[in-house]
Amino acid sequence: MMDSLRQISVKNVQSIANDGNEEKRAWIEHFRPHGFRHDTKEISRVSLPYGISYVLEVFLMPFVSQIFISRLGQDEFNACLLGQVCYGLSAYSINYGLSFGCDTLLSQCYSGNRRKMGLTIQRAAMIGGFSNLVSSILFLNSIYLIQYMNISEQVYRLTQQYITIGIFIIPFDGLLVVIQKYIINLGSTWSILIINIIGNMFNLLFHYVFLYVFKFGIRSAPVSLALSYMSMIIMAFGYLKITKLYADSWQPITRNCLKEWLPYLKLAIPGVLILVREVICFEGSVFLSSSFGKDSLSAQGVSYYVYIINYLMAQAFSLGAASLSRHLLLFAIAFCAFNFVQVTQCGVMKAIGKQYIIGVLVLINYIILTVPLAGLLVFYFKMKMYGYWIAIIIGIILEIIIVEIYIARINWQTQAQITQVRVNFNTEEPSKSPVDNETNEVNMLNAETDEGVTTDSIQPTQTLFDVIKFKLIIFMFLLSLLIVSIVFTVKH
């Protein structure tokens, strides 16, 4: 009897232990699902070269300009910094923000109808031409914003020189973004890394020649950047031509690239809002720091560039607190951790074409919370730049929580069905709940397709003039504004 009871108790203990082990394994698998190691290797293999190339192109090239221009003096350093900040707010945020449409459509077309990739790139390039006009207008007129900042007349004059020449960077930078998105989505990331490495070598050479040989002064920075981007475009086109990588995805340029811009813009414009927020977080802080004097401006510039290099290259470092720039870096590092999480969330939302949710969230958060809180901490509590960073961190934490809740409720099977329809660019999607109403969304999209609303068949009797007349009016209007801006900038 005792032996039987003893055996039963042993079995119960083993059963309880097994149940506990299963629960433990289930808990671990929740955070480390099946295929985690394989997926991690694949993502690292693709993203590592792209991440490094992104650093080389977007941040290291302007950083090299700062290094060369700093040899001329603190005024030149501050002027170059302000010029690059104006470029980031008016041009970088628009060029890279609009490429969010490429991130969604190119990857989805690659898995479905690859010929649509060429059409997407054509539309992106055409839309980019309009955005370049807008960026140039904003960039030139940013000089009127700078004149109200607490800077010396010398810094203002040097910044004006940088901005006047800097408009030539915008078209090359915008076209380069589109071409690189195309090559990357074709699966060739190492080629982009090699092109950007060579482009950085050209950048160093151009800066040396124009600064020390031709004595261009601060104007050597925008001239060198424009020529460097142009050389990278030539190399990218040469790579596509030699390797024939475009053969399966390109189609001849027709009037179809002038149609159906709205679906692309619906995916791209939220990217502009997201990028503006990213730019304001750091480059906007440079504007704010200028109100506290020249030394504060230089310190914030040092913090900005050191942060960028360390964040994107993932280099570990430790700092003391013996200077103003090091104090500010402590807050930038804290922001870095939260920003990394949000960048990952943004990638998930771009993959399913829901970046507009983050865009709207960013806009509301900044208007209601971040900006008022930053003004309160900076000016009322006299916390200066420390208050600015505290407000930014609080705002981004709130965004992370809201987006994470939304991602947890996504029905991925339904999103896969939506993607199949979006390959045809029928993205007239109603705003629905991520779980309850996505099925209706798929049905509506499929209904549009069944009714014959396809990409290349809308109004086939339209003449070329009918297709471009509205776009031509907008183009002429923007071109007129650009000419007026150039005239006033030169006279000013």
- Of the candidates 354, 183, 177, 174, which has an alpha carbon nearest to the alpha carbon of residue 271? 354
In a domain, 186, yes or no: yes
In this structure, the answer to whether residues 485 and 424 fall within a common structural domain is no
How much is the pLDDT for 459?
Answer: 47
In this structure, the answer to whether residues 178 and 193 fall within a common structural domain is yes
Q: pLDDT tens for residues 129-173?
A: 999 999 999 999 998 888 877 788 999 999 999 999 999 999 999
Q: Taking residues 262-271, what's their average pLDDT?
A: 89
Domain count, the chain: 2
If you average pLDDT over each of 26-40, 211-225, 270-284, which comes out highest?
211-225
In this structure, the answer to whether residues 465 and 441 fall within a common structural domain is no
Contact by Cβ (8 Å): 468, 476: no
In this structure, the answer to whether residues 144 and 185 fall within a common structural domain is yes
Contact by Cβ (8 Å): 255, 458: no
d(C-alpha 348, C-alpha 407), whole Å: 8
pTM passes above 0.85 = no
In this structure, the answer to whether residues 483 and 439 fall within a common structural domain is no
pLDDT exceeds 80 at position 98: yes
Of the pLDDT bands very low, low, confident and very high (cuts 50, 70, 90), residue 85 is confident
In this structure, the answer to whether residues 445 and 482 fall within a common structural domain is no
**Lowest mean pLDDT across 48-62, 296-310, 366-380, 422-436:** 422-436
If you average pLDDT over each of 43-52, 53-62, 88-97, which comes out highest?
88-97
In a domain, 207, yes or no: yes
Which residue has better confidence, 222 or 77? 222
Which residue has better confidence, 309 or 106? 106
How much is the pLDDT for 324?
Answer: 45
How much is the pLDDT for 70?
Answer: 87
In this structure, the answer to whether residues 440 and 479 fall within a common structural domain is no
Give 117: exposed, middle or buried? Use CB within 10 Å, 0-12, 13-18, 19+: buried
pLDDT exceeds 50 at position 445: no
Residue-range definition of the domain harbouring residue 134:
49-259+459-491
In this structure, the answer to whether residues 234 and 176 fall within a common structural domain is yes
How much is the pLDDT for 296?
Answer: 60
In this structure, the answer to whether residues 417 and 485 fall within a common structural domain is no
If you average pLDDT over each of 6-20, 77-91, 452-466, which comes out highest?
77-91
Q: Taking residues 467-486, what's their average pLDDT?
A: 92
How much is the pLDDT for 59?
Answer: 78
In this structure, the answer to whether residues 114 and 169 fall within a common structural domain is yes
In a domain, 427, yes or no: yes
In a domain, 91, yes or no: yes
